[in-house]
Structure formats: structure tokens, C-alpha cells
Amino acid sequence: VELSVSPEFAYLRNCEVAGLLPVTKAWERFASDGSVDASDRSLGDADLCVIVETAVSRAWKGQTFKNLNLSGNQLTDAGLMKVSSMLRGRSSDAKAEVLGEETGFGNLELESLNLASNSALLFRAPQLAGRLNQMLASLPCLRNLDLSHLAVRGRIVIGLAHVLETCCPDLRSLKLVNCGLGAFDQSDCVALASLLSRPTAAGEKPAGGLENLDLGGNFLGRAGFAALGAGLRSSCRLRQISLAGNCSRRNENDVGDMSPRPLSERAGSPRPSSPPEATVDAEQMQAEKGFNSLQLFLEGLQANSSVTSLDISACAVCPCTAWVLAEALRSHKHIAHLQLADNPLGEEGLRHVLRMLSEIGDNIRSCDLRGNREAELSSYSTRFRHASPSGVYRLNLRYPLERAVLRALLVLAEGRERCLKFDPKLPKPIVERDAATGCWTVPMQGMCNVTFSPPISQLSQQQREERESSRATMADSQQSQQAAHTRIAFKDQPEDECGSPGKGEQLPLHSRKKARHGTPVGFGISSQGRAALDFSVGRKEGESAPPPQKSEQSDSLLVSDGSAETNADVPVCKPAAPEPEATRADTNQAVRAKRHTIIQRSGEGFVDLKRGKADKSEEDKSAIVTPGQAGTPEGDWSEVSRLIVKSRIAVSALRFQLYRGLFSKSVNSAEQLRLASACGKELWMSMLQVQMLLADMPELIPELVSLMSPAIVNRKPQLMVLSRLSKSHLSKVSRRLNMGIFFEEGNPTGSYLVDLSDPADYVVAENVLLVNAWESEVARCAGRADVSQTGNGEMLRNEAYNEVPFTYGRDWVLPNTGWLRFDYSSTRRPPPEATGLNEIGEMLRQLKTKAINSTSKLRALRTVSVHIFITTIQCRQLLMCFPGSSDSSSSFDENPARQEAFCILHTRVVDRERMLGPELMYAPVSVKMPENKSSTPSVPTTSKSPSRKKTANRLSAPLTDHLATVMAQAQSAANPVAARKTQFKKRGAMSIVDAEAKELSKERPSAATGSSHQRTQNYVVFAVLQEADQVAMFRRLGYLHLLNPLKPELCRLQCNLSLHEQRRAVQFLVHLAAVETGGRVFALMDNGKQVSLPASWVDKGVPTTPLDFVVSYDAMDANYVSRSNRLSLAEQYCIGFYGAPGKQTA
């Protein structure tokens, strides 16, 4: 009896009646859980209808029927219509209203239905879609539906989504893999997005929705991804979502219907046309072309906290898409599985993913990066740099990548809103933060310019805030005192006939100088020289200057420097009565005495040369921080090391196993090396972690060591990892790592040529940019002068990327590949209290070893330089240890080794005034004792000699005496005014030291002749820095770094007024000549003519016309040379001059 009522017996009888072969395995689980599994049997319509008929009949008799799996068979359209009729049952009132049928009763409790992979099911029958919807509407308990690999698309899916949303409230899983969704229209993709969350009343939280959605292998476009992203924001039940294989860009410009209307209103309405696109430029069109629509969906992940598994394999995930994903999942706490296989991530995309894996929640269990390949050439790099995010961003909020950048900036600016500023010229975007999710909501249209400047140095920022607060508290009192002082001054001041203050009003500085000397402004300039300098009005060379003209309103002469303009600040008054005539000598003497008195009274406040800026000068002076304090360029640099460490993510011991699994799952060695390169640029690892990875891939040890050694924090562990290499690979790998191992963030000055595709070089370039950002901010907060090449406050100079020059700015992002060439000139100087070493004999002995090449010596010298301070004499002795042009086989005048040594040491010299004087920088020669076999060597061969210090002192004494004599001659040559005028007329603006250098160079025989060096009073003349070396130093370090403001008479500068730093050097000399009585600035033109620069440049500023000349300074009267005044000017133009030379030791 029990056998006759079993489902198997009923099925066998139905097969016997129909004449079919039974499939008994389909009923194995029917008795236990009500499952009928007839999958992958290649059964036809008759076989499947018998199985469904038997299961339905047993369900109506009270047996459990919950799961039906008919996948992998040959079901046709006609067979599906029969099956749907069997499963439809009777409709209830709610469903009858939807389907338009009469009220009935009875429904199956089927929970799972699988019709996937029925290749004969084509959905071409006219009534098939309606029968399918009626069948699904009669299954209110349906939880899982799989229609994968069926031709379900377009209106069929729209009606299907409408029925599932209305009649199947318990639906949890929907699979529509490879169904052709979005092939012709995105409306079906938009319709499916409504299933992610159920519509609720206003003010209520969304409830219900799918838990598992698989839409892989379809053609989702921009509208579909956007709709899914919008549904993802409101979904609170979705756990797994798969979009693998949706990489088609066929419908990129199809925006579809993404309005928030209910699905019931959109299903029957015609698809609206796309809005007309505005005319865009070429850059926007190119960005539009490379825009991956998947980014629209990934944006929705930031507001979702329920997704635990995400599969976007083979979705053309490029680096910019990986950046959007990383920003969306950065605060996600529940993601556990991430599938990113078969995507063109490239090295940059891998870096975004690796950083994301370290920053997301601890629930992450697996990540699949198999099959990753190089990024496409059309993909865009992210303009955001985690190591230094400060900069100016021009964002087009139409693109998800730009919106992700804005959200990242808003997150970084939390708690320090003053660091983020929007351009007031453009409409400010409305940004809001969701209190529930903590995510920022940004608009999806418009343009905005954002300036993000977070404090890099906390000490400098703290000092700056303290100064601002103290300045704010004293502002009211100072303003009231200034107002009272002004009233008293105008009350006591006599008025002239015009009613304006007579003595209180001052003339411009060039007018005062004209009155003082009794000559026009262009004094000392011939008509030809004035024509050469009057380029502001376009006067041709050789054209005579116009004669001085009388003003119609005044008897005073107009300025005859070619500009022919009057001073608007000076009131037009009647000429005063003439004073008694006096001799010219007495007048000049009185004027000089008066001027000297004004300088002495003004002290350091003379720097503001224009009228009305005295208060501003005092305010700027109060902002200058005392040299040597923390937060200054010459202060403590420990903050730089901490900044470099924080620029990358450290891999924890728990998270390391996840990274280790990424290497083990890689398909080939190319993927492993690409992943290792990304780790070397983005992560910090311990030596033990790197050694474990090397043990897992022994065949790639040489390549992995060169790629992953930069990921190790300290230098000692890096060298220990190198010990695992064989001797055959050690030299090759060490050459690749030399730049990174011997880089010193405490002394980065030098020339760099880095291969950005190599992690060792890339890390060096990134660290240099970090040091540059720190130095720029610290120097600006400390009130230091801007000595940059282009006036942007940066330390980088002569930048070129792939041999294309450019100007570095904070908005420039370091590329992932290519060649970058630049010079770095640090503003770090020894603090005022620093002293030189007592003895450097051991350093000299090591550097003079001939068995070591110059490259190794320079690396060792850079490593040691951060721990020492030296004097000028010691610096010269160290430079002489490197081969020069006279004692090398090269025929060139430049000394590359000495140039690099000077770049390393010049920031460590305590007596900078002497270094930039005739003793080293501006001395064409230096001297040393001739070596004699019978004489005692200058440096002992053994370090245990007790008389080493005495010998060094005895040999350096005559050298110091000779250099002191040269210095005295240079100083005494500036005293005779008549002699100095004669020298300038004869030698064309050449100083006495330059003339003496030429005479000494004539006496010295050339190295090419092979003759011995000429002895002069037991001294042999050797060149320390040739003229070509000095030119190279000016190019590599900068004019303002090597300008000696305390002794400007010693140098001649080749200047081009179109370059900022050279124009600043000329401006310094012009200002100095305006302050010092008798001071003149001479320019030697290319045609050999010598002219003096006009004093009107003080008020008008130095012009920016590209004019080349050699400029020099002449102090006519040494009695009016004030060291305090030159120091005051040095604070505005130079760095490292504190008022007195550094202390020296014997």
C-alpha cells in the first residue's frame, strides 16, 4: 500500500502510460526535502512534463514540493507553456487583480525554480512571456529563481521584474547569467534594480529585497549600472552580487531611465530619449571614451553595509575603476570575498587594491587577482596621491572618478575644514554627510576647483596658529595706536602752499636718489646703454634717448629712463624758493651724511623701499621664526622620517596571509612580479615577511629582492635580504638598489634621474617629493625667503619627464612609469650654534684611497654628511679628495665628482659667508703644499699616529694665511673709489678677484702640455671649482642659494630677466644699491657694452623681458657699507645668513 502511494510509483506509471523511459534519480530527495532534481539529463518536453505533473499531483495530495530543477535539458517554448500551466495553480485575489483573472484559490509552496541552460527555449511563442509571469505570480513562496543562459531580455524581463516585485515578496536569489540583458536597451537592467529593495512609505526604512543577485555575462551599460548603484544604496539585505563579464561599452552613451519613479509607472511607459549632450572639448570627449560604467555601480557600495561578496571579474577594471572601488570599500566593515580576476588592473590598479585590503574591515577573507594584466593605454591615472594629497584639483563631477576624489578630500578634511577651499569663482557644490552611514554625498553634475592644503608639519602649523592668535589679540590695540599717531602727525606737520604735508610726504626712491646725486635717474648710463635697457618701451638699439623734458605743472625734470611717466604719489605743488647755492662736494657730503643717519635710524626696517609699507614690513618680520627652532628648515628633521613612514601602509601579521595568498594564486611569474612591484611601491613589510615570500618563490629570488626590498623600512634589514642572493646576482641587484639604499632624507640635495617603473627609484622620487613638501611648508611658516627657481616655493629644479621640461606643482601626480629627471636644492642650513668638526684627517685618508671609485666615495660622503658640520677649510679639503680636470684624463673643464661633493657638503658648512667668498666658491684657485719625498705627508698613512692632529694643523696654517691674504686683497681693492672706477672701465665690470684669477691662471701651465705645476712661494696652484663648475652649481643649486648677500662685490652673475630666480638676484642688487650710498649695479651686455641698471627698478620692479647680461655690484664708498643692512636684505632674498659666521674650531 505504501509503495502504491509513493511519488516514484506514480512517476513510473505515468512513464508507462506515456511510453517514456523513467529517470528515477530525479526523485531521490523528494521524500526528504521535497526536491525534484532532473538537471543535466538532456530531457525533452514529454519527459519533463511527466516529472512536473507527478510532482504537482503529489503536492496537491499533501506531500512537500519545494524545489524544482529542470536545468540543462531540451525544454522548448511549448514545453514551458505546459509546465507553467501545471505550476500555475489557482490565483488569489491580489494576484488575480494583477493578472486580470477571476478570483480563485490554491497555490503551490514552491520555493526554488531552476530553468537555466535549456538551449531549445527561445521565448519566441507570443503568449509564453504571459504564461511565465502567471506561473511566477502563483508562487508566493518562491525564494530562488534561476533563468541563466536563456534568451530572457527586454520586455520579458520588465514584466518579470514587475511580477517578482509584486507577487513574490520572499524572493531572495535571482540569477540571470548570460541572458543578453542590455544588448539592445537598458530598460530591462533598470527594471531589475527595483528588486534590490522593496518600496516603503515615506519616512520608513527600506525592507526586504534580494540577498543574492547574479547578472554576469550580460551587457549592462551606464543606465543599468547607475540604477543598480542607486538600489544598492537603499538595500539592507543584499549579501552577494556578481557582475562578472559585464565589460561591453556598446551602450556607454545610453543613460536610460534612472528616475526614482516606482517600477509600476516605468514598466508601461515608453523609454524616454537621452538628454542632448552639450558640446565638450577634446579632453572631456577623451575622458568620456575611457569612462567605465561599472564605476557608477561601485559608488553605491559606499552607502551599503550588507554586501559580503562582490564579483566583478572580467569587467575591464582599469586603475581608475580600482580607485573608485577602493574609495567605496575603504570604510566597508563586512566585505569578506572580493573577486577581481581577469582585469587590466596594471601596477597602479594593484596598488589601489593592496592599500584597500589593508584599510577595509577585518572580515576580509579572500581576494582573487588571478589573470590580472597590464592596463590599457587609454585608461586614466588617478590624480590623487596618498603620500601627499595636497594640491589644486579641477574636478568634473560628471565622472565617478572625480566624485570619488572629492569624497576622499572631504574625508581627509574632517576636523580641519580650513584646509579644504572651493574656488569662489565657480558655484560651490552642495555636499552633505549622511548621519546614518557617515558617507559624503556629492552632486553628479557641475565643475569645481578644490584646493586642499593640510598641514604637513605639525610643529610649523602650531607655531603659525600661535602667531595668528597673538596677532589677532593685538590687532585692535595696534589699530587704535596707529590712528592716534596719525592724528598727532598731521596736526603737528606744516603744510605747503598746496595744503598738503610738506615734509611728511616722501618721494619715490629713484626720485630721492636723483635729487641726492643731482643727475637723472639713469646716471652713469650712456645713451647707447640706456637704449639697451629701455626694452619696456621697445626702443631699438642705437636710438638716442629723448632729452629731459619740463613738466607743464612743475619745473622739475621728468624721469628720462624711457618710461616718460610722472609719479602719481607726489602732489603737484608750486616750486619752493631756491636755497643758497653750495659747492657740489659739500652738497654730496651732506647728503651722504644725512643718508647714513637715516640708515642708522631705520636699522633693519629699511627693507620696505616703497612708501606706505613700513607697517607691513614689521608684520612680516614678526612672522619670522628664530633659526634653529623646531619647525624651521634648519631645526629638527625627525618629522620628515615620520612623514615618510606614514606615507605607506604597513602590513600586519594577520593581513600578511591574505597578501601571501595573492602570490600563491597567481597564474604565472609575470603576475607575481607585477604584484611584487606594486607591493614595493605601496606597502611596508618586515624582513621576515619578505623572506617568507622569497621562500615561496625560490625561482624568482633575484627579481623579487630588487622589487620588494624598497618595502622594507630600515636600511640594515634591506642589506640582510641581499645576503640571500648568489654572487652572480648580487652585483646586478645591488646596482638597482643603490639609489634607494644610499638615499638620505636629511640631505637630499643633488641630481636625480629615476626610472619610475623600478620600485627602488620610484620610492626615492616619492620620498624626495615628500621632503620637498615638508621643506616648502616649513620655510613658508617660518618666514624664510623664497629661493625657488620659478617662484613657487618648491625645492625641485630643472624638472623633465621623459625629457620634456615641466614645472612641478602640488597638483602634479607622480606617474607609475617613465623617466623623471630633476635637481633638488634643499634650504636646510646648519643652526646658528653649530660648529665644525675638530679634525677630519680620517675622512681625508679614506676619501683619498685610490682603490675606491668616486661613486662609492660620494655615496659614503652623503651617508656621513647628515651627522657632521664642517667649516669652509674642511669643505675645501674634502673637495680636493675628488679628481679635478687638471689631475684627470678628461679634457673637459667640469669636475662632476667635485660638483656632486659640493652639492652634498654645502648645506653642512657652518661659515657660509666664507664658503661663498674668495676662499672656495668664488675663488678661481686654491693652494696646497707640493708633495716631496723628503717632506712629511700631509695626512698620516696610519690612524694610530699620535702627531696626526699636529701635522694637519701645521700644514693648514700656511694655507689659511694665504687665503686670508687673498681675502684681504679683495677687501682692500674695494676701498679706493677712483681705482675701482678705473678697473671697471678697463675690465668690463670684472672684480679685482676675477682679474687676479686670470693672472694666476696664465701662470699655471695646462695639463695637456704635461709640464709640472708652477711653484709660487712653495705653493702649487690647483683649481677647486672651474668656471664651468660654478655655472653648473648655479644651474643645479640656484642663484639665490649661492648668492653672498654680505659680499656681493665678489660675484658676477649671468642673468636672464625672464627667469624668476635670476630676476630676484638682480632685484637684490638693485635694492642694495638704493640703500648704500654710492652703490651701483653694472650690466655687461652681449655686445660688450657696460651700463648701470636704473634705480627706478626699485619702485617699478625688475622687468620680465628676456634680456641676457652679466651683472655685478660695486660699492663706491666702503664707509657706507652696513653689515646690518645687508643682513636685513639677506632675510628677504637668501637663506642661512644669521648675522655672524659660524664658530670654527682648530
pLDDT on residue 810? 80
- 1060-1075 vs 1123-1133: helix axis angle to the nearest 10? 160
The model's pLDDT over 604-625, given as tens digits with 9 standing for 90+, comes to 333 333 333 334 344 444 456 6
- State residue 712's pLDDT score: 94
Name the residue with higher pLDDT: 201 or 1048: 1048
Each residue's pLDDT tens digit, 1022-1081? 557 888 888 899 999 999 999 999 888 888 888 999 999 999 999 999 999 888 888 889
pLDDT of residue 597: 38
Which tens digits make up the pLDDT trace of 131-162? Answer: 999 999 999 999 999 999 999 999 999 999 99
The CA-based angle 975-979-983, given to 5 degrees, is 115
pLDDT of 1144 above 70: no
3-class secondary structure for 151-180? Answer: CCCCHHHHHHHHHHHHHCCCCCEEECCCCC
Most confident among 220-224, 387-391, 589-593, 1094-1098 (mean pLDDT): 220-224
pLDDT tens figures, 420-433: 999 988 888 899 88
pLDDT of the residue at 271: 35
Closest CA to 314 of 403, 379, 248: 248
Above 60 in pLDDT, residue 460? yes
Residue 91 has pLDDT above 70, yes or no: no
- For residue 1000, give the nearest of 927, 928, 1056 by alpha carbon: 927
Provide the 8-state DSSP code for 771.
H
pTM above 0.85, yes or no: no
Question: What's the pLDDT score for residue 489?
Answer: 52
470 exposure class (CB count in 10 Å sphere: 0-12, 13-18, 19+): exposed
β-pairing verdict for 796-801 and 804-805: antiparallel
pLDDT more than 70, % of the chain: 69
Residue 956: strand, helix, or coil? helix
Query: Over 70: is that where the pLDDT of 504 sits?
Result: no
- Residue 942 predicted with pLDDT over 60: no
What pLDDT does residue 331 have?
75
666 versus 481: which is more confidently predicted? 666
Picking from 121-130, 176-185, 577-586, 919-928, which range would have the lowest pLDDT averaged per residue?
A: 577-586
Cβ proximity of 165 and 195 under 8 Å: yes
pLDDT digits (tens, 9 = 90+) for 842-888: 899 999 988 888 999 999 999 999 999 999 999 999 998 988 754 44
Q: Contact at 8 Å (CB) between 1032 and 750?
A: no
Does residue 490 or residue 803 have the better pLDDT? Answer: 803
Residue partners of 643: CB distance under 8 A and separation at least 6 = 456, 770, 774
pLDDT of 662 above 60? yes
Note the pLDDT of residue 515: 43
Confidence (pLDDT) at 388: 86
Question: For residue 248, what pLDDT is reported?
Answer: 58
Q: Is the dihedral of CA 621, 622, 626, 629 positive or negative?
A: negative
Whether pLDDT at 61 is above 80:
yes
- Lowest mean per-residue pLDDT among 707-716, 933-942, 1065-1074, 1119-1128: 933-942
How high is the pLDDT of residue 92?
43
Q: Which residue has the higher pLDDT, 587 or 47?
A: 47
Average pLDDT taken over every residue of the chain: 75
pLDDT at residue number 622: 45
More confident residue, 490 or 763: 763
C-alpha span between 290 and 320 (Å, rounded): 10
Confidence of residue 782 (pLDDT cuts 50, 70, 90): confident
Provide the residue type at 308 as one letter. T
For 86-127, give the DSSP string.
Answer: HHH----HHHHHHHT-----------EEE-TT-TT----STT
Please state, in angstroms and rounded to a whole number, the distance separating the CA atoms of residues 1125 and 928: 36
**Helix crossing, 400-412 with 319-329: angle to 10°?**
40
Q: Which pLDDT band holds residue 387 (cuts at 50, 70, 90)?
A: confident
Q: What are the pLDDT digits (tens) for 101-134?
A: 443 445 788 999 999 999 999 999 888 999 999 9
The one-letter code for the residue type at 29 is: R
Task: Kindly provide the b/e burial profile for residues 746-767, where b requires at least 16 CB atoms within 10 angstroms of the residue's own CB.
Answer: bbbbbbbebbbebbbbbbbbbb
Q: Binning pLDDT at 50, 70 and 90, where does residue 1121 land? A: confident
DSSP 69: E
